[in-house]
Amino acid sequence: MENVILIVHLILALSLIGIVLLQRSEGGGLGMGGGGGGVMSGRAAATALGKLTWLFAIGFIVTSITLTILAAANSENTSVVDRITDQPEVVETPAPEAPAADDLLPPAPVGDAPLVPQVAE
């Protein structure tokens, strides 16, 4: 249900953007003049594009409110703050192994070499 309303909401948003871009500028925003639609009154006649804009805008607002209500109903009275824990997650790492006793000894002599170096006198 929520996906259908979301798709309708997106179609309404794109349609509303397209309809607004199709309309002729009638305001004096940024110093640009528009057409003088009504000489006797300040309000121009309602066009089909204007009525369609209102229809899309009302549909967009209705789907926005509906999606908000559905999202609130699906939250099940939980808060993001409730999901936060005070303690960070502890990751266990294995301790490095102690070196064996043989690894601490100097290398064994090769061939006929003496264990203790001879000092020349």
**Residue 95 counted as domain residue:** no
**Residue 62 counted as domain residue:** yes
Helical spans, DSSP H, in the chain = 2-22, 48-74, 101-104
Q: What is the pLDDT of residue 4?
A: 95
Q: What is the pLDDT of residue 118?
A: 67
Domain limits at 63? 1-23+49-74
pLDDT tens per residue, range 23-38: 887 665 555 555 555 5
**Residue 86 counted as domain residue:** no
Q: Taking a C-beta distance cutoff of 8 angstroms, is the pair 26, 34 a contact?
A: yes
With a CB cutoff of 8 Å and minimum separation 6, the contacts of 5 are 63, 66, 67, 70
Low-confidence residues of the chain: pLDDT under 70: 26-45, 83, 85-88, 99-118, 121
**Residue 7 counted as domain residue:** yes
Split into its structural domains, the chain has a count of: 1
